[in-house]
Structure 1
Amino acid sequence: MSAMNLATVVATIYSGATYTDIADFFKIMDTNYISERRFYDIQSQYILPTIATYYEEHMEDVLREMKGQCKPITLMGDGRSDSPGFSAKYMVYSFMKEKTEKIVHVQLVQNTECSSSVAMEKVGMERALDALLAQGLSIETVVTDRAPSIRKLLKDKYPSINHQFDVWHVCKGLKKKLVSLGKKKGMEDLLLWTRSITNHLWWCCQYCGQDSSVLKRRWLSLLHHITGEHEWTVDGETYSCSHGTLTGDQCLRTIWLQCGSPSFKALKSLIENKSLIRDLEQMTLFKHTGSLEVYHNVILKFAPKRLHFTYDTIVAAQTGPLQWRARQDLGWNAADVMELQLIGREIGDRLKNTGSVRRQVSNVRDEVGDADADEMGYVGGRDACSDQ
């Protein structure tokens, strides 16, 4: 096998491109490229096995590091479907350690293993959590969204783990509801307050001092502030807004809601929603999965949701943790990390056995000389990209 053929396949995969993308590129340039069959042969025989081997070693290193610390850990968890909507074929559930932002476990689930596509997230999380607990890790807190299936699973099967809700997801859901209300006739003024209301929820969670009663009181205080009332009494105690005294100009420029107006009634119903008030008790530690969402965007580079991938390729797409670790710890990109592994591990051994690379480089050096060959950066020959 030509080394250039291998190099082009490696570059295609690590750049997040597909065979079709690169083949079209070479076609426009009127340049030969390897056939589709040859491309996927190289991918399945050399690239995917090496990725799988290094990925497993990487995850073992991460687990070994956590075991050595001997401290309870906080994990952020979230699932990622392979396609939009509710008919996904694969679900990848990922756990990230909060302090180090390192991926500690990735669990792949196929819809044939569950009753439905929606049920894959619960199955993926359960398997991932069981695998980590089986390693002897002490898990203190798990941060997820407010999915009912996940909530019930943690409550029933893992009661000793503190389940916290992701503040970012809650704010995102709240914003959608506010925008939906603001589009109704007579409630347009709610749109002016959407950002301030979501920011207020974020602030309440961040500065509640891990006290659920303080968090609830500050959240409900919004109903006073939004009508222009900045000092009020509840059960004989006087409270006031934390923003300080507003100037006359600020008061005049702000469009306050009127008590009893349709906008205020709709907002009051939303803020005092029993489900939301109850969930605030699981938001006192101010946890969010922003880093995990960024990691899932890294995965999108290798496995876009608009394209279909086989099971093996979905597994290989979990090179995301490798690129994520490289960005966090080493300052390298994924190509740097994986190239070192490819040279030193399985692919290098297989190519060494065939001797094809040595023969091609040797032939070139005989023809043009060592110095010229080095200057040309010759690897596989003039026809290296043709199908062989």
Structure 2
Amino acid sequence: MSWLKNVGPGVLVSAAFIGPGTVTVCTLAGVNFQYALLWALLLSILACVILQEMAARLGIIAQKGLSECIRAEIKSPVVKLFSIILIFSAIVVGNAAYEAGNITGAVLGITAIAPSLSFQIGQFTLNLWSIIIGAIAFSLLYLGNYKLLEKVFIGLVALMSISFIVTALLVKPDISAIFKGLFIPTTGTAGILTVIALVGTTVVPYNLFLHASLVGEKWKEPGDLKIARKELTWAIVLGGIVSMAIVISAAAPNLPEVTSAADLAKGLEPLYGQYATWFIALGLLAAGITSSITAPLAAAYVVRGMLGWQGGLDSFKFKSVWAGILILGVIFSSLRFQPIEIIRFAQVANGILLPVIAIFLFWIVNKESVLGKYRNTLWQNLMGVIIITITIFLGAKSIYTVLQSL
């Protein structure tokens, strides 16, 4: 069992993208496009491995987080201020949207097996379940005793992940169609938002900050880089396989549309039969609450690093950041929007904001003053430029698609 000692931040990164957003977006991809968008997931997995390796290398060699390095390396006060505002905007908007998706995912699970609860405030109708989930996440974060509960939730998410892989085998999919979907990129105007959502749900921008900070706590020597690379590669590839399994499972039932957890559950009916709805409900609830805890914490780490705060996790300023993100998530989640659309919007927002964070990371890992001989090689730079170019293109095209539909 010595391999367990090497299990670290890479598993957390993988667990972060197996949440309500991944289940929802991958189900939508399978229902609406069958296997045609599997190539987008393959691209996302490769991009995730390459970018997270850069973040891990930065954390181990520099023994600093990404936000601390950006703050230290930008000398011009004007450029530093602009960069702080840009990163704040990306993290606050991205994490608030992501938090709304997490809370909505948990609510989607609850309402599959319990009645909807809402109340009226003036002209607004608020979803009471969103407020309850937000209150649970707030309490767990404030008290700081969420670790044991988090392990239980992660266990449920892992069980849900294994279930999708088994289901993908049970439905006996068309293997030739899967290979075609993996290696022949096809999409249309209708599919571009789903493509960017698949990227956004796999390569989560805040994970680049979180990973760089966490590896520095676990590994202290340059020699540990080999272990970190192996751990994150296996974890992300396994997470990607789960995402693909969800697409394959969702493509089998030939659903006309997906609007509820009961629809999401149809992909698991070959394995769980009439209990599939209960199973997906518990899985979404667990994934939603787990992610509702980690997303605000990640935002607080970023802000602390960018502003150079010295206080610990119990400081008022640190708590104010995660509380603000959590409150924004509750507000966005509780308004009268379709739950599936809120979750998809969160992933699209992350996909659009990804190039901003990736460019900052790319710049830092090329600085000799930060990484010395461990800075990016020519091959790593080539792969980084390709990934950033593709994400910028997809983000621009998705924005254009949205503007065209207005």
| TM-score for the superposition, normalised by structure 1 | 0.23
More helix by share: 2
User: Greater RCO between the two (CA within 8 Å, min separation 6)?
Assistant: 2
| TM-score for the superposition, normalised by structure 2 | 0.22
